[in-house]
Amino acid sequence: MSWPLSYAEPVFRPPSEAGSLILQLTVGCSWNRCTYCGMYRMKQFRVRPVEEVVAEVRAVAPLSSRARRVFLGDGDALAAPPEVLEEVLQAVRDYLPWITRVGIYADSRAIRRRARELPRLRELGLGIVYFGAESGDDETLRSVLKGATVASQLEACRLVLESGLKLSVMVLLGLAGVEGSRRHAMATGRFLVEAAPTYAAALVVTPVPGTELGDAIAAGRFEEVDRWGSLQELAWMLESMEGYRGPFHANHASNWLPLKLRLPRDREPALDLLREALASRNQDLLVPAFSRGL
Instruction: Give alpha helix (H) positions in 165-209.
Output: 181-195
CA angle 293, 8, 104 (to 5 degrees): 70
214 three-state secondary structure: helix
Q: Distances in Å between the alpha carbon of 68 and those of 61, 92, 93, 97, 211? A: 12, 11, 12, 9, 36
CA distance 126 to 148: 24
Burial of 219 (0-12, 13-18, 19+ CB in 10 A): exposed
pLDDT value at position 249?
97
Mean pLDDT by 10 residues, the chain (294 residues): 80 91 95 94 93 96 94 94 98 97 97 97 98 98 98 98 98 98 98 98 94 95 97 98 97 94 98 97 88 66
Q: Are 133 and 191 in contact (CB under 8 A)?
A: yes
pLDDT value at position 6?
81
pLDDT value at position 292?
72
Q: What is the number of other CB atoms lying within 10 angstroms of the CB of residue 193?
A: 17
pTM: 0.95
pLDDT value at position 294?
58
pLDDT value at position 2?
66
CA distance 254 to 261: 17
15-281 belongs to which homologous superfamily?
A: Aldolase class I (3.20.20.70)
Q: Are 81 and 50 in contact (CB under 8 A)?
A: no
Domain residue spans of the chain:
15-281
CA distance 209 to 62: 41
